[in-house]
Amino acid sequence: MARRTLLPELLRHAVLVLGAAAMVAPFVVMVAISLKPPGEVFAPQFTLLPQQWHAWENYRDAFTKVPLARFLLNGVLVTACIFAAQAATALPMASALAKLRWAGRGWAFALVVLALLIPPQVPAIPLYIAMWQLELLDSYAAIILPSTISVFGIFLMRQFFRTVPDDLIAAARMDGMSEFAITWRIMLPTAYPPLAAFACLSFIWNWNEFFWPYIAIQSEHLATPPLGIAFFSNVEAGTSWGPLMAAATVVTAPLALAFLVAQRAFVRGVTMTGLKCPPEQRRPPPCPRSPAAAFSPRRCSPHRSTPGPRRAAWS
């Protein structure tokens, strides 16, 4: 029995390890180069660790030759504003699309889904002209305003809100809540996991966004991190790869951190969206057999501690 399942298991893990290695490799190279002196970067023999440590110099240069701290601060400010605006718009819209009955709701939702298909580059020129006419080009507002409404956010939250039981909304109405109060006081507290997933995605997208800030921003002091790196490579291209990779590492680190912190909620939010189970099972999330259970042993302990029939059969 055990021998028969071992081989496919090994194969599966081998494939996963290969895939993971392919994904992680560029980051490993990035971190490795950020630790090396200029002479070792293009050495014929690639080594993970430098023969001569140059980390301090590289990271110091990254922060001193260009205002990297400023770029990071810009990034935090812009992504925070964008997410706040996206949540403030997406939650009521999703709530209305999921739980209110009004003429044209089907069409409105179709438009939302349709808007998901439009690549962000398409409206770039109209947006640019609009920003120019509003005299907002080259400002934080120019980066933030076009992203304030996220159709993806509306879609994601609407899918989740549909699983909130109708009776709960009806009870809130009878208790005297307005529709807005229902969104903020009833729907939102049950929707933290998908909201955290959306926050994570929104942060990653807008932190990494290069195309639109590159068009809208000219001043170095307004640059977001990817734009800052681009400035960096323009200034330093070809000469100092070490500091450039150090800057790239610093810029990437918040994303990795954010994902690690939000991972539990993230996985739960993504797996729960569109999933329909009875309220007793869905709250508190997650469902006993959802993949998220692996990430949240504490929440799941009542389910996991009960010895299932399968486990009993094995022992």
Partner 1 sequence: MASVSLESIGKRFGSTPVLHGVSLEVADGEFLALLGPSGCGKSTLLRILAGLEGCDAGTVRLDGRDVTELPAKTRNLAMVFQSYALYPHMTVRGNIAAPLELRRLSALQRLPLLGRALPGTRAIRAGIAAEVAQVADSLGLSALLDRRPAQLSGGQRQRVALARAMVRQPAAFLMDEPLSNLDARLRGEAREEIVALQRRLGATVIYVTHDQAEAMAMADRVAVMQAGRVLQVAPPQALYDAPASLEVARFLGSPPMNILPARIGLGGRVEVEGVALPFHAPPCRAPRLGVRPEGFALADGGLPARLARIERLGAEAILHAALGASGAVVTVRVAAEQATGLAPGQALHLMPRAAHLFDEEGLRLPLHATLPQPAHD
Q: Which residues sit at the interface with partner 1, rule CB under 8 A?
A: 165, 167-168, 170-177, 181, 186, 189-190, 279-280, 283-284
Kindly state the smallest distance separating residue 242's Cβ from partner 1, in Å.
Answer: 49
Helix runs in 162-191, H state only? 166-174, 179-181, 188-190
Q: Residues 89, 256, 267, CA angle at the centre, nearest 5°?
A: 60
Place of tokens 């399942």: 5
Please, what is the minimum distance in Å from the beta carbon of residue 192 to partner 1? 9
CB of 279 to partner 1, least distance (A): 6
Query: CB-based burial of residue 303 (10 Å sphere; 0-12 exposed, 13-18 middle, 19+ buried)?
Result: middle
User: What is the closest distance, in whole angstroms, from the C-beta atom of residue 169 to partner 1 in the complex?
Assistant: 8
Closest to partner 1 by CB, 172 or 199: 172
Closer Cβ to partner 1, 8 or 176, answer by number? 176
Picking from 152, 149, 159, 156, the residue whose alpha carbon sits closest to that of residue 98 is 159
Cα distance between residue 139 and residue 71, in whole Å: 14
Residue 19 or 165 having the CB closest to partner 1: 165
Q: Least Å distance between CB 301 and partner 1? A: 13
Nearer to partner 1 by Cβ, of 64 and 281: the residue is 281
* Nearer residue to partner 1 within complex by CB, 190 or 240: 190
Tokens of 50: 């430098």
Token pair of 18 as six digits: 């290969």
Residue recorded with tokens 């990430």: 295
What backbone phi and psi angles, to 5 degrees, belong to 51? -70, -35
